Structure 1
Amino acid sequence: MSNLDKTMIFRPDQESDLLLEIIEKVIPALKEQGYDPSRQLAGYIVTGESNYITSAHNARATMAKIDRLTAVEQILNDYLKLKGLS
């Protein structure tokens, strides 16, 4: 039986782990191509335009695995925790 046959429970920690895993794959691909990862990721998250993410090393397809709103929420949540505001 595949995981798709089971009821899944949303766990923010799992989303955070997935986002981190994706970012850790996408950032090196962006850097290798000469792009500023922060600018490219921000452009992608704000616009949804996949051309902000390089296709090198399958980074574009990897980035598409996570919902943009989920990414924004998780990044903001992590930032607020880092700053002691949540």
Structure 2
Amino acid sequence: MADNLERTLMWRGRPEDRDPGDILRRVYDALKEKGYNPVDQIVGYLLSGDPTYITSHNGARNLIRRVERDVLLEELVRAYLERTPVAR
């Protein structure tokens, strides 16, 4: 029993709660379900950092706050560039 008190446990959460792409999709879906324009709301959040742009429906507000905004922006740029040819 004493050995258990010396160990440090780590909580990793569920994989889908750490993937920025999955988080963006889940937040997008929650916003759409509530009748908001998801793109406008997510952009508002990314520009301002104000979580009230994101609905609390389905835990979307708490979910998006688990990932830093710069990581979300990187995910968006990466996804866009992978799907869109870039002029060279």
Q: Same fold (TM over 0.5)?
A: yes
Q: Which runs of 5+ in 2 are unaligned?
A: 1-8
Q: TM-score, normalised by structure 1?
A: 0.74
State the match for 1:83 in structure 2: 84
Letter in 1 for 2:26: K
Larger radius of gyration: 2
| Residue 74 (structure 1) aligned with residue 56 (structure 2) | no
Q: Which runs of 5+ in 1 are unaligned?
A: 5-13
Q: Please provide the CA RMSD for this pair.
A: 2.3
50-59 or 19-28, larger mean C-alpha shift: 19-28
Letter in 2 for 1:56: H
* Residues 29-68 of structure 1: pairs in structure 2 closer than 5 A: 29-68=30-69
Q: Percent identity?
A: 31
Letter in 2 for 1:55: S
Q: Which runs of 4+ in 1 moved over 2 A?
A: 1-4
In 2, Cα distance between the equivalents of 1:74 and 1:25?
Answer: 14
Question: Offset of 1:77 from its aligned partner?
Answer: 1.8
Equivalent position SS for 2:76: helix
Is the CA contact 2:41–2:53 (under 8 Å) kept in the aligned structure 1?
yes
Question: Offset of 1:24 from its aligned partner?
Answer: 2.4
